Amino acid sequence: MKQFTVTTRKQTDMVNITAQVQAAVHATGIQSGICTVFVPHTTAGVTINENADPDVIRDMLMEMNKVIPFTDGYAHSEGNSAAHIKASLFGCSLNVIVEGGSLQLGTWQSLFFCEFDGPRNRTVWVQVLGG
């Protein structure tokens, strides 16, 4: 297993982590298999989405914040219930096929760390299994 740190700068943020995950895959030497990316946090997640137009990320965060506002009469005493809800909707892990030692992503796809309770320093775990 490999791990790396992501530093977020805003309360909600999506950080492209494709290069760090690809580096972790390369370090394993595995040419064919499956890569699991896992975020060990309850107020953050991971997703695959478009990397070409930054407005896509802006729009996703804007709509998530409309649908799940930061304050809405939540009972959770820490004041970050919205972050927990968003993290559960995005999910804490994803799998990507590895072939030829490379992540098999579509032309416009990238892996994004999703911050919902920042800014913070976060950890991402990467596990690659050969096939």
Model confidence, pTM? 0.96
CA-CA distance, 39 to 91, in Å (whole number)?
9
| Residue 131: per-residue pLDDT | 82
| Residue 32: per-residue pLDDT | 98
Over range 92-108, report the average pLDDT: 98
10-60 pLDDT tens trace = 999 999 999 999 999 999 999 999 999 999 999 999 999 999 999 999 999
| Domain topology for 2-130 | Jelly Rolls (2.60.120)
CA-CA distance, 99 to 32, in Å (whole number)?
4
Q: Coil, strand, or helix at residue 18? A: helix
Average model confidence (pLDDT) across the chain: 97
Single-letter amino acid code for the residue at 105? L
Quickly state the pLDDT bin for 117 (edges 50, 70, 90). Answer: very high
Q: Percent of the chain scored above 90 by pLDDT?
A: 99
